[in-house]
Amino acid sequence: MVRTDRNQSSVTRFILLGFSDYPHLQAALFLVFLVVYTITLVGNLGIILVVRINPKLQTPMYFFLRHLSFLDICYSTVFTPKLLETLVMEDRSISFKACMVQFYFVCAFVITEMFMLAVMAYDRFVAVCNPLLYTVAMSRKLCALLVAGTYTWGGLCSLTITYSLLTLTYCGPNIINHFSCEYSAVLSLSCSDPSFSQIVCFVISTFNETTSLLIILTSYVFIVVTIVKMPSTGGLRKAFSTCASHLTAITIFHGIILLLYCVPNSKSSWLFIKVATVFFTVMIPMLNPLIYSLRNKDVKDTVRNVINSKLLSQSMQSRHRH
């Protein structure tokens, strides 16, 4: 007979089904996700380096953007390698401990990014609504405290949800109908009452989503009011251009979260949940550097200057050789 103590779990390994229902697509999916992951790493590392080397980009906005890129690298790295492994390896298993560790870090990075986007909205609010006081209001100390606060809050929330999963008993089956240790997929394998974990997850998720969206919406209501009052169209265009990239990133990020919230947790919706999770964890980290760099003149100029200086140094070296 299987024991059902609070911390007793007879399952030591989980098997990730991933996209095994579509064997003919495995190779193509592997190549697509590998290319996307490579672009994600190169793009986000590029943003971090560009912000570091350009003195013009030593502002609060780019300080937060650097951390956003770091978070994108982190949570896509927690997810994507395991996803790639499930597409090419016959052994799709993951240990119980590794599963919980993966869940903890993904959850922590996603919550942190949620509030990092809210902090960036507040930063844009101060920049547009109080431009003369911007450097004073958004001091280095305040920026560091805001970033530290988002990481701490993300870690604490994730720790609480992960603990609620660890209190459950898992006595089989051990097959996760997902490519990662996603919350609802893991919860469905529990053979003890999951109500405590569900309440914890619901309260934390609802609070975080509502709070972060309220900060973002309030900030942008004030931004829109200020922009509308601006007398010159030049000032309006410049003010809007600083917010357009951020609004695009927010819309994609929160749009997919709200979409996943609305999907019923049934067998018929598992494929949709998998696809939406892939987009959220694999595609968004790739899109963010593209969104911010393509719409940003300073970033594009820095990249152009770096490429031109590299080409110039190479041509000078080749001349010296001849």
CATH code, domain carrying 185: 1.20.1070.10
Query: Does residue 7 lie within any of the structural domains?
Result: no
Q: For position 75, what pLDDT does the model report?
A: 87
- Both tokens of 126, joined, read 């101060």
Contact (CB, 8 A) for 99 and 9: no
Supply the angle between the helices 26-53 and 284-294 in degrees, to the nearest 10.
40
Contact (CB, 8 A) for 39 and 286: yes
Query: Does residue 306 lie within any of the structural domains?
Result: no
Query: Does residue 304 lie within any of the structural domains?
Result: no
Share of the chain above pLDDT 70, in %: 81
Query: Does residue 156 lie within any of the structural domains?
Result: yes
Query: Does residue 309 lie within any of the structural domains?
Result: no
Query: Does residue 128 lie within any of the structural domains?
Result: yes
Q: For position 232, what pLDDT does the model report?
A: 65
For Cα atoms 272, 275, 280, give the angle at the middle one, nearest 5 degrees: 120
Which residue carries 């492994």 as its tokens? 85
Domain residues for the domain of 173 are 23-261+269-295
Query: Does residue 172 lie within any of the structural domains?
Result: yes
Contact (CB, 8 A) for 98 and 85: no
Considering only 6-10, 170-174, 186-190, 283-287, which range has the smallest mean pLDDT?
6-10
Contact (CB, 8 A) for 321 and 271: no
Query: Does residue 40 lie within any of the structural domains?
Result: yes
Q: What is the value of pTM for the model shown?
A: 0.84
Considering only 69-73, 208-212, 301-305, which range has the smallest mean pLDDT?
301-305
Nearest-10 Cα torsion for 250, 42, 278, 284: 10
pLDDT at 6 over 70: no
* Total domain count, the chain: 1
Which bin fits 18, alpha (ψ -120 to 50), beta or left (φ > 0)?
left
